[in-house]
Amino acid sequence: MNKILITGGGGFVGRVLCGVLEHRDREIRIVSRGGASAGPTPTFCCDVCSDAGWVEALEGVDTVVHLAARVHVMRETSRDPLAEFREVNVEGTRRVAEFARAAGVRRLVFLSSIKVLGEKTMPGAPFTQESPMSPQDPYGISKAEAEEMLVNHFQERGDIETVIIRPPLVHGPGMGGNLAALAGWIRKGLPLPFGAIDNRRDLLGVDNLCDLIAVSIEHADAPGKRLLAADGEAVSTPQLIRAMAAALGSKACLPKVPPALLAAALKTLGKSALWERLGGNLEVDISGTCRTLGWSPPVSFPSGIERALALS
Active site residues: 139
DSSP one-letter string for 271-287: -HHHHHHHHS-B-B--H
Distance CA 27, CA 21 (A): 8
Distance CA 308, CA 305 (A): 5
N residues, the chain: 312
Distances (CA, A) of 176 to 108, 126, 172, 249: 27, 25, 9, 20
Q: 77-96: string of b/e by CB count within 10 Å (b at 16+)?
A: eeeebeebbbebbbbbbbbb
Q: CB neighbours of 105 closer than 8 A, spacing ≥ 6?
A: 5, 58, 61, 62, 63, 64, 160
Distance CA 181, CA 160 (A): 40
CA count, 13 A, side-chain hemisphere, 146:
39
Distance between the two ends of the chain, CA-based, in angstroms? 34
Distance CA 72, CA 139 (A): 7
